[in-house]
């Protein structure tokens, strides 16, 4: 399936035959399973729709057997996405594969992704199986999956620490069994580019049937080399890169999609034979959507999507950019969809102008959501002299917080000072429309608000983390608050977010959002228990 580079002339220049490199996005699976990045079903679906706009070839929607929520998410993504293949991860056993296929079967382009570890350390200590047993399980699982689905991917977990001869034998065996893609993961982020290039080259040259399948790579970033390793693998003949938006994932994360894509696109002088199907102008929007959903931002100096990625402060740099942008910019902000930050709307703007701008920013709202967004916009415009794209993005994203709203925030009032006892009065409405008002004191106005919310809901909570960011510049900027909290000693953290020009109100919104998410998750578990009882 993959052509190695061929050389034809005395200057050692490559021929012009292009290779299609598939982008396999695992944000919804490997990325989402990392602590602090969990998404509910609706959020996964929103992210999947944006990944389809981005143009990824394959999106791994989840691990269907891991939980009822993951099964539902994979099933809904499979039924919704039309242009990208949808994959579900399954261990190498019949039960996992059957459940995975049940979630994927309605997809236009389903892919079963099954795996088993092949390194000595995993086989001995985790699987407690011999290499011969693992080889047989790999073969049997791929054959079983192939009877259900035409597109089967096999991953040799911890491949980079596997015996290379055994790894080649596994690759040959699963291809003969029907695997159309074989993934060579650096599961623990251990390899370096020159070593990984050698591993992939060996597989390309030693496995006799390698031309019958696509060789994929899945690199973790524990040594900060995931992107470099992925590109080295492509040089050696790999034709699929597995990655995540913003590089999220277990431990130090995965290869960053935006970095891999823009490295190849920017260095066409080195990768003139490679084709990618990603729409780079959707990169920034996809990154922002992910940070909005998870509440976890990227560091300012993050390549491609960080706040400072296209900023210039040094005088020499500024002078050069003013004379010619290419002096210090190797790509344009527009090439990744970076916003212009231009003022677009004000308090006199009408509904039509707002809807048009919302559409330009890539959002699609229903009629009731448009009305709600317009009312929120007018409230914001009355408080701010200037309304920027970032303000609108934050405002719209509030319409998609996800999960059932057991309580909605009404009014918030508070008093505080260095010689006063901080006090807050909060009004909440429950799902039945009943409004309750209560007050509490605290260590500060934010703490007092949280305690008042807990009193009304009769739920004990514990704040684990609290972060506030200014959405835009200026004294009248909206404050975006992201909190992580644990409720009723549930054993897991829940993230919530809120935004307002008043940071105390934003804090109350964020804490209530987290509580609603907890209650929604608790309600879903209760329904499942009741169903099992029936």
- The pLDDT, as a whole number, for residue 249 is 96
- The pLDDT, as a whole number, for residue 172 is 98
pLDDT of 531 over the 70 cut: no
- The pLDDT, as a whole number, for residue 373 is 84
pLDDT in tens, 341-373: 444 566 667 778 788 777 777 677 788 888 888
Residues 217, 223, 224, 229, CA torsion sign:
negative
Mean pLDDT score, 435-446: 95
**How would residue 317 be classed by pLDDT, with cut points 50, 70 and 90?**
low
pLDDT of 9 over the 80 cut: no
pLDDT of 22 over the 80 cut: yes
Lowest mean pLDDT: which of 287-291, 333-337, 488-492? Answer: 488-492
Higher-pLDDT residue of 343, 532: 532
CA distance 511 to 325: 43
pLDDT in tens, 392-422: 877 777 666 555 689 999 999 999 998 899 9
Higher-pLDDT residue of 513, 192: 192
pLDDT in tens, 494-510: 888 888 889 999 999 99
pLDDT of 335 over the 80 cut: yes
CA distance 520 to 487: 12
**How would residue 329 be classed by pLDDT, with cut points 50, 70 and 90?**
confident
CATH for 402-530?
Answer: 3.30.160.270
Helix axes 68-80, 41-54, angle to 10 degrees: 40
Q: What are phi and psi of 371, to 5 degrees?
A: -65, -45
pLDDT of 133 over the 50 cut: yes
- The pLDDT, as a whole number, for residue 343 is 41
Higher-pLDDT residue of 409, 297: 409
Domain spans of the chain, in order of start: 19-294, 308-337, 351-399, 402-530
CA distance 378 to 430: 25
Q: Parallel, antiparallel, or unpaired for β 407-415 and 423-430?
A: antiparallel
List Cβ<8 Å contacts ≥24 apart for 408-411. 408/512, 409/505, 409/508, 409/509, 409/512, 410/435, 410/437, 411/437
- The pLDDT, as a whole number, for residue 342 is 46
Lowest mean pLDDT: which of 135-144, 334-343, 411-420? Answer: 334-343
Strand ranges across the sheet with 407-415: 407-415, 423-430, 435-441
pLDDT of 528 over the 50 cut: yes
State the DSSP H helix or E strand holding residue 437, giving kind and residue range, or none if neither.
strand 435-441
- The pLDDT, as a whole number, for residue 494 is 85
Mean pLDDT for the chain overall: 88
Q: Where are the beta strands (DSSP E) in 92-178?
A: 110-117, 152-157
- The pLDDT, as a whole number, for residue 359 is 77
- The pLDDT, as a whole number, for residue 233 is 98
pLDDT of 53 over the 90 cut: yes
Mean pLDDT score, 107-120: 98
What pairs with residue 232 in β-bridges? none
Measured CA distances, 441 to 28, 33, 451, 453 (Å):
40, 37, 8, 12
Higher-pLDDT residue of 43, 24: 24
CA distance 394 to 283: 17
pLDDT in tens, 164-206: 999 999 999 999 999 999 999 999 999 999 999 999 999 999 9
pLDDT of 214 over the 60 cut: yes
pLDDT in tens, 83-99: 999 999 999 999 999 99
Q: What percentage of the chain reaches a pLDDT higher than 70?
A: 89
Mean pLDDT score, 124-152: 98
Three-state SS letters, 170-184: HHHHHHHHCCCEEEE
- The pLDDT, as a whole number, for residue 398 is 65
Q: Parallel, antiparallel, or unpaired for β 240-243 and 479-487?
A: unpaired
492: Cβ contacts below 8 Å, ≥ 6 apart: 486
CATH for 19-294?
Answer: 3.20.20.70
The three-point CA angle 499-500-501 to 5° equals 140
């Amino acid at each position: 399936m993959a052509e190695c580079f061929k050389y034809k002339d005395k200057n050692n220049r490559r021929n012009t035959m292009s290779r299609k490199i598939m982008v396999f996005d695992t944000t919804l699976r490997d990325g989402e399973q990392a602590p602090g990045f969990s998404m509910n079903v609706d959020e996964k679906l929103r992210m999947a729709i944006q990944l389809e706009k981005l143009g990824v070839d394959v999106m791994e929607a989840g691990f269907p057997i891991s939980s009822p929520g993951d099964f539902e998410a994979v099933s809904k993504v499979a039924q919704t996405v039309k242009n990208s293949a949808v994959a579900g991860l399954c261990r190498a056993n019949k039960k996992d594969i059957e459940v995975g296929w049940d979630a994927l079967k309605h997809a236009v382009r389903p892919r079963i992704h099954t795996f088993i570890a092949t390194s000595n350390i995993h086989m001995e200590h985790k699987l407690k199986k011999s290499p011969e047993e693992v080889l047989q399980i790999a073969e049997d699982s791929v054959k079983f999956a192939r009877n259900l689905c035409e597109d089967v991917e096999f991953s040799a977990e911890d491949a980079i620490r596997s015996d290379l001869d055994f790894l080649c034998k596994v690759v040959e065996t699963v291809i003969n069994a029907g695997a159309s893609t074989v993934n060579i993961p650096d599961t623990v982020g251990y390899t370096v580019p020159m070593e990984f290039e050698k591993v992939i080259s060996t597989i390309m040259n030693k496995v006799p049937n390698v031309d019958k399948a696509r060789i994929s790579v899945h690199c973790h970033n524990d040594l900060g080399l995931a992107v470099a390793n992925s590109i080295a693998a492509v040089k050696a003949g790999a034709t699929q890169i597995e990655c995540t938006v913003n590089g999220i994932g277990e431990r130090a994360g995965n290869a960053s999609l935006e970095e891999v894509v823009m490295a190849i696109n920017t260095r066409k002088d080195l990768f003139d034979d490679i084709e990618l199907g990603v729409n780079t102008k959707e990169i920034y929007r996809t990154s922002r959507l992910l940070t909005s959903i998870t509440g976890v931002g990227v560091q300012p100096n993050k390549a491609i999507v960080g706040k400072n990625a296209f900023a210039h402060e040094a005088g020499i740099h500024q002078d050069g950019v003013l004379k010619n942008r290419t002096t210090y910019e190797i790509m344009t902000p527009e090439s990744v969809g970076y916003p212009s930050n231009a003022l677009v709307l004000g308090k006199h703007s009408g509904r039509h102008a707002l809807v048009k701008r919302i559409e330009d920013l890539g959002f699609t709202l229903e009629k009731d959501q448009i009305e709600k967004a317009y009312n929120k916009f007018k409230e914001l415009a009355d408080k701010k002299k200037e309304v920027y794209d970032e303000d609108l993005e934050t405002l719209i994203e509030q319409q998609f917080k996800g999960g059932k709203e057991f309580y909605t925030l009404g009014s918030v009032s508070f008093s505080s000072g260095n010689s006063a006892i901080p006090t807050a009065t909060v009004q909440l409405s429950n799902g039945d429309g009943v409004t309750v008002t209560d007050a509490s004191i605290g260590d500060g106005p934010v703490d007092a608000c949280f305690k008042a919310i807990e009193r009304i809901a009769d739920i004990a909570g514990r704040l684990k983390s609290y972060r506030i960011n200014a959405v835009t510049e200026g004294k009248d900027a909206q404050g975006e608050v992201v909190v992580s909290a644990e409720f009723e000693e549930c054993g897991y953290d829940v993230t919530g977010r809120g935004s307002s020009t008043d940071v105390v109100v934003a804090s109350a919104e964020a804490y209530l959002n987290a509580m609603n998410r907890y209650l929604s998750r608790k309600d879903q578990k209760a329904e499942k228990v009741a169903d099992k009882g029936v």
